[in-house]
Amino acid sequence: MNPKRRHRGLGTALLFMAPFGLLYTVFTIWPVFQGVYVSFYKWGLMGKQSFVGLANYTRAFHDKYFWGALGNTTKFVVITVPLLIVTAIVLALLANRATKIRKFARSAFYIPSVLSVSVISYIAIYLGSPRMGFINELLHDIGLIPPGDEPQWIIGKNLAWVTLALTTVWWTVGFSMLLYLAALQEIPDEVYEAAEVDGASKVRQLFSITLPLLSRTHWLVFLLQVIASFKVFGQVRLITNGGPGVSTRPLVQYVYDTGFGKDNLGYASAMSYALFIILLVFSLLQLRVQNRGDAS
């Protein structure tokens, strides 16, 4: 490649990158810096009010609602991530078996993922509504709960968490299942044939061969799910609206409420960076895991 050509390459490359680069810079990169700036101010929807230095950050440090919301988000991560991983593995193993229904099973497990968070939230609300909901009706029909007893799936302190967790698993597990399915299909048959010859049982094969061979996928799914669960907002806002009280309100919702409900964008920005830092750590880990896969 001669230097002249290389130079022309740069110009053309810039031209090709310009439209995406411009939008990406304005709507993805710029807000990160803008947010830091805003976080040093008292800032409302009408604009900048006054410089407050680090006050928004120290305020978060002493704000029990901030810690409560961060705690709720963490609780959501701790509940849903293991549940999602185990469910994804089980579903992938079942959908990977050589049966006539494998395509049907795969589609059925994935299809909730194509629905909007508003749709799945309202399905959950109506499924769980006392007296008229599907779940309580079913429990009455089969006699698991006595007439007149109506479990509160949406506003019950503990049941609200159960509803949020199960809804999230049902809605989002398809993605991780597909990741596992792709990984399962890359395991060569010879591995199992050899185990078969050695007389290893199916259960033994699962725990000694299949699951260990999926270790990279376990990591990837784990990190992707941790990131996704830390970002939780829509289904909680719509199903429980953070309630009862603020007992399920996640960090993103508290940021949203503070910024747009209480007109305090400066403080909301400052709190956003707590989430940003947490997600940054897991995103960097995720890139590492993915690059390891590319290299091999």
Q: How many CA atoms does the CB half-sphere of 275 hold within 13 Å? A: 29
Q: Which residue's CB is nearer to other proteins, number 75 or number 231?
A: 231
Contact 271, 73 (CB under 8 A): no
Dihedral angle, C-alpha 250, 255, 257, 258, nearest 10 °: 140
Residues 6+ apart with CB under 8 A from 162: 153
In the window 165-184, what residues touch other proteins (CB under 8 A)?
Answer: 170, 175, 178-179, 181-182
Q: Which amino acid is at 26?
A: V
- Work out whether 138 is an interface residue with other proteins (CB under 8 A): yes
| Peptide bond before residue 147 is cis, with ω within 30 degrees of 0 | no
Q: Exactly one of 99, 191, 194, 215 binds other proteins (CB under 8 A); which one?
A: 99
Q: Phi/psi of residue 222, each to 5°?
A: -55, -50
- Work out whether 12 is an interface residue with other proteins (CB under 8 A): yes
Q: Which residue's CB is nearer to other proteins, number 5 or number 64?
A: 5
Contact 120, 113 (CB under 8 A): no
Task: Give min distance, CB of 223 to other proteins, in A.
Answer: 11
* Rg of the chain in Å (alpha carbons): 24
In the window 252-281, what residues touch other proteins (CB under 8 A)?
Answer: 252, 255-256, 259-260, 265, 268-269, 272-273, 275-276, 279-280
**SS3 (DSSP) at 49:** strand
Q: Phi/psi of residue 148, each to 5°?
A: 90, -20
- Work out whether 86 is an interface residue with other proteins (CB under 8 A): no
Residues 6+ apart with CB under 8 A from 189: none
Task: Give min distance, CB of 29 to other proteins, in A.
Answer: 7
Around Cβ 140, how many Cβ atoms within 10 Å?
A: 16
Give the helix/strand (H/E) hosting 44. Answer: strand 41-44
Q: At what angle do helices 134-141 and 117-128 cross, to 10 degrees?
A: 30
- Work out whether 57 is an interface residue with other proteins (CB under 8 A): no
Task: Give min distance, CB of 189 to other proteins, in A.
Answer: 7
Q: Exactly one of 50, 97, 147, 158 binds other proteins (CB under 8 A); which one?
A: 97
- Work out whether 52 is an interface residue with other proteins (CB under 8 A): no
Task: Give min distance, CB of 128 to other proteins, in A.
Answer: 11
Q: Exactly one of 13, 86, 194, 206 binds other proteins (CB under 8 A); which one?
A: 13
- Work out whether 152 is an interface residue with other proteins (CB under 8 A): no
In the window 198-257, what residues touch other proteins (CB under 8 A)?
Answer: 202, 217, 220, 224, 227, 231, 233-234, 238, 252, 255-256
- Work out whether 40 is an interface residue with other proteins (CB under 8 A): no
- Work out whether 137 is an interface residue with other proteins (CB under 8 A): yes
- Work out whether 16 is an interface residue with other proteins (CB under 8 A): yes
- Work out whether 19 is an interface residue with other proteins (CB under 8 A): yes
Rounded Cα distance between 145 and 133, Å, is 14
Contact 53, 40 (CB under 8 A): yes
Q: Exactly one of 122, 149, 206, 207 binds other proteins (CB under 8 A); which one?
A: 122
Task: Give min distance, CB of 81 to other proteins, in A.
Answer: 16
Task: Give min distance, CB of 74 to other proteins, in A.
Answer: 15
